[in-house]
A = this chain, B = another copy of it.
Amino acid sequence: MRAIQDLYPDDFAHCYGCGRLNPDGLHIRTEWLGDEGVARLRPGPRHLAMPGFVYGGFLASLIDCHAIGTASAAAMLAAGLRPGEDVSPRFVTASLAVDFLRPTPAGVELLARARATEVGERKVVVEVTVSAGEAECARGRVVAVRIPRSMETGGGGEGGHQPG
């Protein structure tokens, strides 16, 4: 299955978290299952908080890029497009909130599930859960907005939001 990130335009495919064209990145991939986005990711040995546990910033990154991918899919559906087949529109992150529910064990593939809870013309709200095996380890909420024009050329910096 093609991920949402596989179908971002090349200019938007360099993200450290999810860019297919960033050779050093995490390569987070959102697969759209009809009503939710699913991403699976195994932290590397360097992504520790302390021995035995995954780094919180890694989990925040997973939640961020996966939510942005899910926002893209939800916006496509609302516009009559096909997530995973048509070109994915690029959203950026206005805000990110993560609750860490319990320590996340290292060495385990993580499962992130995301749903859009609000889909507007310009703004999409996404809620994400991250689990390791049976244990839910983190929950996140992301406010995603369509990429501002000022960022499309890599030039701007005015009035936009953070690319996630």
Binding site for B on A (CB under 8 A): 11-12, 14-17, 19, 22, 24-25, 46-61, 64-65, 92-105, 135, 137-138, 150-151, 154-164
Measured between beta carbons, the chain B residues less than 8 angstroms from A100 are 92-96, 161-162, 164
Q: How close is A145's CB to chain B, nearest CB, in angstroms?
A: 10
Shortest CB-to-CB span from A36 to chain B, Å, is: 21
Distance of A10 from chain B, by nearest CB (Å): 10
Contact A102 B47 (CB under 8 A): no
Question: Which residues in B have their C-beta under 8 angstroms from that of A154?
Answer: 50-53
Pick the contact of A57: B48, B60, B104, B105 (CB < 8 A).
Answer: B60
Which of B50, B64, B102 is within 8 Å of A60, CB to CB? B64
